[in-house]
Structure 1
């Protein structure tokens, strides 16, 4: 950012503080909340430490989250600065992870940056910062909605396995969204983008770990699920195999770009091929092994043992043999008696 732009940005922040001060006095609102948000989302792309003020207010009283988020929403709706927008999203991301019950009940974000355009972007031609902000917002918004649903849903009538699979599908959607968040140009190698990317990579590690853990639990029960559940599980496994490759490429990209958190160790799990084949067998109705038939003679009866994967079934067929001293026997008994 040039010296002139820095000066203009500083003037804008001071003007916003003055407006917040008089607005607070006229409406009996707390001046400190508005001022804390403005300082935390200033136009200075190198200063992110002032967000601590916001968390001090929240830790002092969780109920302060409402006026603080209200002030943040107002600022996000008005801004056309990529710096302010990214700082606002980072602040919301940090709030989501602070594990305060009030925050967990918020759900979707209270503002919309899905069509954000920086004030210096050409009309109809969003640049890399705009796309980064839009994708970052879409992920956080969907994450809030999914986590809110998980925290507040009532007991469902659907089987537990189905609930697990539906949850897994939602987490895979979140991972897809996360893997789309990345800088698209070298001119985005700025401090604020690296800070945001560190948060994104940490989130990827968390979501991917959850997915792997849940898939492992599902695979333990793969032999006891029905065709519908097997179809859902197979779709999830195939998606996981695709995401495994995408995740590897994403981490390599981040390492080359210079994202520090990407250098931390993450185990990319490989889905066992035999589990995929087992699900395919269940779906296609091929779970039973080929039938083996053993025949032996017991008295005047042929006894067949037919062994499948599930049962051992014995079928006794009575057939009369013709001997020389058997005269006037009307024939054979054609019926089969199964046990």
Structure 2
């Protein structure tokens, strides 16, 4: 019992050191360091709630390039994590950005996933932060699959609405091509 307590504390310390190292490297090496640092802080190993959501949302909504950078930063963090807390925080962050209706972020997530990023495909996720991780792993994989299905339905519905809008526009002789910025509901 004592060894598992020491082991748990050691894992928390190692997670905190990894977080600080990643944040320090992002400050120095990244072009979009403000966004990447905010993403890394939001997806930390500690059990504290995500405080950086509003900062990330304001950056992602301000410029289309930030949506791509945010998707890349989240994908990079997810691919490196072996901690269920960091993985769950990343999924919550993706959900929040998708729900707030930034029309270009879902496309950037989809493009990143087509390039091989594991943003919502967490079928190979594993957790090394716990001595009995199977429940956490199953939960993370299930939530990611649910979000992935929701994103597919959202994009499919959006494409269907666009095609029906174009068909109506051609029949009516009106101009088609407005972008639908409906919110993602998962």
Common topology (TM > 0.5): yes
Structure (1 or 2) with the larger CA radius of gyration: 1
1:88: Cα distance to partner? Answer: 0.4
SS in 2 for 1:105: helix
Q: C-alpha deviations, 1:171-212, integer Å up to 9, x for none?
A: xxxxxxxxxxxxxxxxxxxxxxxxxxxxxxxx9xx77xxxxx
Question: Equivalent of 1:19, from 21, 25, 44?
Answer: 25
> What is the CA distance between 1:63 and its match in structure 2?
3.7
- Aligned to 2:44, the other structure's residue is in SS state coil
Shift of 1:3: 4.2
Bigger relative contact order (CA 8 A; separation at least 6): 2
Unaligned runs of 5+ residues in structure 2 are: 165-183
**Count of matched residue positions in the alignment of Structure 1 and Structure 2:** 153
User: 2 CA distance for matches of 1:14 and 1:98?
Assistant: 29
> What is the alpha-carbon distance in structure 2 between the residues aligned to residue 116 and residue 137 of structure 1?
10
**Is the 1:82–1:118 Cα contact (8 Å) retained in structure 2?**
yes
Partner Cα separation in structure 2 for residue 43 and residue 75 of structure 1: 11
Structure in which a larger fraction of residues adopt helix = 2
- Any idea what SS the aligned residue of 1:148 has? helix
Partner residue in 1 for 2:141 = 134
Q: How far is the alpha carbon of 1:104 from its aligned partner?
A: 4.2
Give runs of ≥4 in structure 1 deviating > 4 Å: 106-109
Task: Map residues 65-104 of structure 1 onto 2, 5 A cutoff.
Answer: 65-104=67-106
> Are residues 12 and 104 of structure 1, via their aligned partners in 2, closer, same or farther at CA, if it must alter by over 3 Å?
closer
Structure 1 unaligned spans of 5+ = 156-202, 208-339
Q: Could you say which structure has the higher strand fraction?
A: 1
- What displacement does 1:51 show? 2.5
Please identify, of 134-143 and 97-106, the stretch whose mean Cα deviation from structure 2 is larger. Answer: 97-106
TM-score of the superposition, structure 2-length normalised?
0.71
The residue that corresponds to 1:117 in the other structure is 126
TM-score, with length taken from structure 1: 0.41
